[in-house]
Amino acid sequence: MSQGIIDYPLGIVLSIAMFIGGLIGGRLSLSLSNIWLQRIYLMAVGVLAVITFRKSQTQTSS
């Protein structure tokens, strides 16, 4: 810890943001129907798949 590897202020901010996001996400998921949750999940997975594919294509072509 004396080398300054851990950024405590950033870690605290991120943990608070993740906690609040978890609370909001939990309440939102309880208020939405299953079909909307499936649509949101599939959309997020699709977007992440496209981003990953595009990054892998740019790395192989360079």
Tens-level pLDDT at each residue, the chain (62 residues): 457 788 999 999 999 999 999 999 999 999 999 999 999 999 999 999 999 999 998 887 76
What's the predicted TM-score (pTM) here? 0.62
Predicted local distance difference test score (pLDDT) of residue 62: 61
The distance between the two most distant Cα atoms of the chain, rounded to a whole number of Å, is: 50
Burial 29-41 (b: 16+ CB within 10 A, else e): eeeeeeeeeeeee
**Rounded distance between C-alpha atoms, residue 37 and residue 60, angstroms:** 35
Domain boundaries, the chain: 1-31, 33-62
**Rounded distance between C-alpha atoms, residue 42 and residue 48, angstroms:** 10
**Rounded distance between C-alpha atoms, residue 57 and residue 52, angstroms:** 9
Specify the amino acid at residue 6: I
